[in-house]
Amino acid sequence: MLKTVLSVGALALASALVVNVYAQDEAPPTPAELASGATETRQAVFKLLGFNMAPISRMARGAMEFDAEMAERNALRIADLAPMIPEVFAVYDTREFDVETEALPVIWDNNADFAQKATELRAAAITFAEIASGGDRNTTIAAIRAFGSTCGNCHREYRVD
Ligand code: HEC
């Protein structure tokens, strides 16, 4: 009898623990967690943009050998990433949260202009990829400034200096 009571009690305790763990897993993220998650995601997009742009910039400075294939490939990657910029900002408005960010709050007041800057980056990346695909060193190097300026155009207005 006592044994039965104990095992029933143990079973109840065990299922309570399971339910509790389950409930914790299922608990929706808090707004603060959503805000920091959204911030990490958007910074990951920018890290990838930087990763792909870096060798192109090095080439422009003469710090790296001319490589038309890399230039075309990386520019096309940037063209694909660009539309994700407004998407990751639309996921969550983090203005009210204490997140580590260089994104200026005014982004969420100027969604259309911010998205337009990402569209300009995409267009410039595609144009640059086309030029690089021609394989000519001088024309490709000369086109880097116009391409890179579309990064700076957005940073100037929307990123902490
Ligand atoms: C439409 C606007 C926009 C465009 C276009 C843009 N950026 Fe940014 N970038 C930002 C903003 C805003 C931040 C700050 C994000 C944050 O801290 O939450 C940022 C941050 C960054 C960071 C820092 C990421 C980190 O947290 O480590 C890098 C690197 C970067 N951008 C590179 C680039 C490059 C390279 C390009 C062009 C190929 C580019 N960005 C184009 C708006 C833009």
**Ligand 1 atom 36, closest CA:** 151
**What are the residues whose beta carbons fall under 8 Å from the beta carbon of 110, sequence distance 6 or more?**
158
For a mutational test of ligand 1's pocket, the pick from 151, 156, 160, 161, i.e. the residue with the most ligand atoms closer than 8 A to its C-beta, is 151
pLDDT tens-digit map of 69-120: 999 999 999 999 999 999 999 999 999 999 999 999 999 999 999 999 999 9
Q: How confident is the model at residue 26 (pLDDT cuts 50, 70, 90)?
A: confident
64 against 26, higher pLDDT: 64
* CB 50 less than 6 A from any atom of ligand 1: yes
Please give the distance, rounded to the nearest whole angstrom, from the Cα atom of residue 22 to the centre of ligand 1.
38
